[in-house]
Amino acid sequence: MQTNWNLNDLYEGFKGKYENDLLKLKETVNQYKVSVNQKSLDSITYIENVLKIEEQITILATKLISYPQLIQSTNVNNEDCPKYISKVITILNELTASQVDFSKYLVKVDLSNLDSELINEYRFILNKRQENAKHLLSKKEEIMYAKLSELASSSWDELQSLTTANLLLDFEGKKITLSEVRNLAYDNNQETRKKAYEVELKGYETIEAFTALALSNIKREVTYITKLRKYKTPLEHSLTVCSMQKKSLDALISAMKDYRPYFAKYFKAKAKYLGYKKSLPFYEMFAPVGKLEKTYTYQEARELVCSAYYSFSQKLGDFASKAFDNAWIDVYSQKGKVGGAFCSNLAPIKQSRILTNFTGSLSDCLTLAHELGHAYHGEIIQDNAPLNIDYPMELAETASIFCETITNNYLLKEFTKPEERLSILENSLQGDAQVIIDILSRYIFETNLLKKANGPVSSNEMKEMMLKAQKEAYLDGLDSKLLHPYMWLCKGHYYSAGFNFYNFPYAFGLLYGKGLYAQYQKDSVSFLKSYDEMLKLTTSATAEEVALSMNIDITKKDFWLSSLEVIKKDIDEVIKLFEELQNK
């Protein structure tokens, strides 16, 4: 199988078709400016004309920006990509003044009195624009901020990506990437895990000062622009972007805090199983346990994921096979490639691309299942109208978590021995703990960082805040002397000025996905009929409305507690298996 993704369906280089589309984007942006100025037309005709040109811009811009971004993600040292990304952004920034005009026009219009097929199609986003227009600056200020942010927060963000992607660390006489060192947290050897943790932290010391400067300046910019736009807090803005109510988030966070003691109990049980007297060192969170020591080839990972997907539906299985067959996935770690994993939906060509740093672990197989879930979500919405292809972050995790759960439960049916079952259940629990407890620590850290972001925040202050947040989230589950003070440095999510609190959506997605899977187990026939329709709805409804389409009320803490209870059952079984195997 091909292990590097093929981008030819987008472009075959930056010449020819790419340059032609770049020129076409410029022309379409100019058409947009002209269209926005034609306010003498009746409201329906005027709004329809603007929306039709926006559709063209969205299609072109998605392709033009995705191509260099995808290339750069596998080679951050590619010198052409930043230039072309900048060209696209520069062209799109020319829209700013006209977009402000159009948004302010919408504020004065009663959309409920306008009836046309196109306006009805986009009523949700038009209503959102009306609301967001209340927070716009003047036209000149918006233009200036669009240009300056490219030189400020966007550049600081790029600095973090370049710095961490190019960081080479000395491990046992070899120079390896940060991603490779972090992947050793899953190694079967305890000493290797510990040494990798120590090497990782030592490596951060060489870059912490200027990376902290980058994060500090991003958050200072966020704090300033939030006040100018008259949002109460950056969190209010993020919730607006998510189309989600504060009471839903409050219910979620409160439920997560309630279940901290159960996770702490799990961490301490794992510590005992691994031979520690009290709490678990940070570097042992991903230690494999049980007797399922198998590592997977990429072909075996494909077979596992596809089989699991087919166990849910023919449609889902066929989709996964298509993604593997058509080289949508960039598989292995290499120098200059960004860490972690992601999925990029490419609606204009009805495809997606997935990046992983596959090492053969069971966790990597589940990561594949997770990212292919994102791609399936993209498949379901690919025929939506061009402006209805974006969904908020917390709903973006819906299909991915669901597909990961399908795969994990498929594995549990295949392996029934206590040692094997422990390996699979505990591996899943590792992920759950990250998405509930570590995400909680990130939420706490970012809340505190933004409170201090009226001025510079040093790397020492960030380390202190991170340790404090980890202690508050993990309670006594982790060894307080062996935590990870640099989690703010290695997580790129903190470095987005456009979306802050790039953390709670993951917890939302996990628990919402768990709740959906519980529904599927109760009545698979009716669930299959409504699941895809729910995914389509994610682009044109609030989080609360999407959930209600599946008879779920996310504003109530009870729903989140019921989903956490599903995880608690896994915690109880894992602890029982720990004790059972220790007593053998």
Residue 293's pLDDT band (boundaries 50, 70, 90)? low
pLDDT at residue 584 is higher than 80: no
Of the candidate ranges 19-28, 292-301, 365-374, 436-445, the one whose mean pLDDT is the lowest: 292-301
**Of 155, 430, 164, which Cα lies nearest the Cα of 290?**
430
Q: How do residues 97-106 score in pLDDT, each as one tens digit?
A: 899 999 999 9
Indicate the domain borders of the chain.
Answer: 17-151, 172-206, 298-421+504-582
Q: How many CB atoms lie under 10 A from the CB of residue 469?
A: 24
pLDDT at residue 82 is higher than 80: yes
Residue 362's pLDDT band (boundaries 50, 70, 90)? confident
Q: What is the CATH number of domain 17-151?
A: 1.20.140.70
pTM score: 0.86
User: What's the distance, CA 216 to chain centroid?
Assistant: 22
Residue 363's pLDDT band (boundaries 50, 70, 90)? confident
Query: What local confidence, expressed as pLDDT, does residue 231 receive?
Result: 95
Query: What local confidence, expressed as pLDDT, does residue 583 receive?
Result: 83
d(C-alpha 298, C-alpha 301), whole Å = 5
d(C-alpha 468, C-alpha 125), whole Å = 39
Q: 205 near 486, Cβ under 8 Å?
A: no
Q: Tell me the average pLDDT across 141-149.
A: 88
Can you say whether the dihedral through the CA atoms of 303, 304, 309, 313 is positive or negative?
positive
Q: How do residues 523-579 score in pLDDT, each as one tens digit?
A: 888 898 899 999 999 999 999 999 999 999 999 999 999 999 999 999 999 999 999
What is the enclosing helix (H) or strand (E) of 344? strand 342-346
d(C-alpha 166, C-alpha 251), whole Å = 40
Q: Which residue type sits at 97?
A: A
Ramachandran angles phi, psi of 151, nearest 5° = -90, -20
Query: How open is the CA angle 26-28-33, to the nearest 5 degrees?
Result: 95
More reliable by pLDDT, 24 or 179: 24
Query: What local confidence, expressed as pLDDT, does residue 526 receive?
Result: 87
Mean of per-residue pLDDT scores for the chain: 94
* Rg of the chain, C-alpha, whole Å: 24
- H-only helix segments in 122-259: 123-133, 139-151, 153-165, 178-183, 190-205, 208-228, 234-241, 246-258
Q: How do residues 178-200 score in pLDDT, each as one tens digit?
A: 989 998 998 889 999 999 999 99
**Of 470, 564, 551, which Cα lies nearest the Cα of 511?**
564
Burial profile 333-368: b = 16 or more Cβ within 10 angstroms, e = fewer: beeebbbebebbbbbbeebbbbbbbbbbbbbbbbbb
- β-strand pairing of 342-346 with 351-355: antiparallel
Q: Tell me the average pLDDT across 286-305.
A: 90
pLDDT at residue 331 is higher than 90: yes
Q: How do residues 203-226 score in pLDDT, each as one tens digit?
A: 999 999 999 999 999 999 999 999
Q: Is 354 helix (H, G, I), strand (E, B) or coil?
A: strand
In the chain, % of residues over pLDDT 90:
84
Query: What local confidence, expressed as pLDDT, does residue 417 receive?
Result: 86
Q: How do residues 83-138 score in pLDDT, each as one tens digit?
A: 999 999 999 999 988 999 999 999 999 999 999 999 999 999 999 999 999 898 88
Eight-class DSSP state of 281: P
Query: What local confidence, expressed as pLDDT, does residue 537 receive?
Result: 95
- β-strand pairing of 174-177 with 329-330: unpaired
Query: What local confidence, expressed as pLDDT, does residue 465 receive?
Result: 98
pLDDT at residue 292 is higher than 80: no
pLDDT at residue 69 is higher than 70: yes
Q: 240 near 525, Cβ under 8 Å?
A: no
- β-strand pairing of 168-171 with 329-330: unpaired
Query: How open is the CA angle 574-523-410, to the nearest 5 degrees?
Result: 40
pLDDT at residue 467 is higher than 90: yes
Token digits for 45?
Answer: 């005709």
Q: 375 near 323, Cβ under 8 Å?
A: yes
Q: 212 near 491, Cβ under 8 Å?
A: no
Query: What local confidence, expressed as pLDDT, does residue 335 receive?
Result: 86
